[in-house]
Amino acid sequence: MTLVFLAFFGVINAAIAKRKGYNAVIWFFAAGVIGLIFILFLPDTNNKKYSPEKAKDWVGIGNKIGGSIGCIAIIFFIFLIWIA
């Protein structure tokens, strides 16, 4: 059940990330409600109000956040499997 829950939020996070210009694969692994909250608050880098340099900066920051959340989620998932 946990895996289904994480996959469900992973797909949602990846779709939002792709639409906003972030790496969808990284954000898929940032599965869960916390990842969803973070991706919703990150700016849309495809918006014309950002210069290409600023958009690139935001993409880097956003993908680092997503990767960090993803690493924590994977470690937590492995821990849950280990204690079960």
Domain spans, the chain: 2-83
Q: Which of 10-14, 30-34, 61-65 has the lowest mean pLDDT?
A: 30-34
pLDDT at 2 over 80: no
Between residues 74 and 23, which one has the greater pLDDT? 23
The arithmetic mean of pLDDT across residues 44-49, rounded, is 92
**Is 27 within 8 Å of 13 (Cβ atoms)?**
yes
- The C-alpha atoms of residue 75 and residue 70 are separated, in whole angstroms, by 9
Long-range interactions of 74-83: CB distance < 8 A, separation 24+: 74/29, 77/2, 77/6, 80/2
Residues 6+ apart with CB under 8 A from 78: none
For residue 23, the tally of other CB atoms under 10 A from its CB is 15
pTM score, whole prediction: 0.87
For residue 24, the tally of other CB atoms under 10 A from its CB is 17
Share of the chain above pLDDT 70, in %: 99
pLDDT at 4 over 90: no
